[in-house]
Amino acid sequence: MAQEYIVNPCVGFNNVQLNEKREDVRIKLGQFNEFKKNKFSKNTSDDFGDIHVYYDENDTVEAVEFFEGEVFIRSDKLFPIDKTSLFEILKEIDNNTVLTEDSISSKELCISAYAPGEKAESLLIYREDYFSIN
């Protein structure tokens, strides 16, 4: 059975909060592999299997990316579903949701999805300042 994640927009998921300290997240989520996302990363990230957790230079959570499992907002399943359905769900909550050739994003909900095809390949939740400082 797939792991279930409940997103609280701009706040976090399940019992993990955006802006939470790395050591607390590791205690809550368990086994991880630490990695550097790319050469421009300010800090390392943690791979917990289904998800990657990204930290700022102060070791606090700035974003979480889901690759597996089932992600929900309210009672709506956000991931994995087809790109059109995801856009419609987010648009219903945030009328300013944007759909492009390879992504969907809602600044109001602090959610974006990488979706170069018919389905989203990953779903990102982030704190409100994430894209303004990265």
pTM: 0.93
* Nearest partner of 73 among 97, 55, 52, judged by Cα: 97
For the chain, the structural domain boundaries read 4-66, 82-133
Q: Give the pLDDT mean for 71-86.
A: 93
- Asked if residue 2 has pLDDT above 80, the reply is no
How far, in Å, CA of 17 to CA of 104, rounded? 22
pLDDT at 33: 96
Residue pLDDT, tens place only, 101-125: 999 999 999 999 999 999 999 999 9
Q: Which residue carries 């109001």 as its tokens?
A: 108
